[in-house]
Amino acid sequence: MGEQISTEFIEQKLKKELDATHLDIEDVSGGCGAKFQALIVSPKFEGKPLLQRHRMVNTALQEELKTIHAFQMKTLTPEQWEKQNS
Whether residue 3 has pLDDT greater than 70:
no
In a domain, 68, yes or no: yes
pLDDT in tens, 4-52: 788 999 999 999 999 999 999 999 988 677 899 999 999 999 999 999 9
CATH number at residue 71: 3.30.300.90
Domain total for the chain?
1
Residue 72 located in a structural domain:
yes
27 domain-assigned: yes
Q: Is residue 2 part of a domain?
A: no
Give tens-digit pLDDT for 64-81.
999 888 999 999 999 999
Residue 1 domain-assigned (yes or no): no
Residue 61 contacts residue 25 (beta carbons within 8 Å):
no
Q: What is the rounded CA–CA span in Å between residue 51 and residue 33?
A: 24
Give the dihedral sign, CA 22/82/68/29.
Answer: positive
Mean pLDDT, rounded, for 80-84 = 96
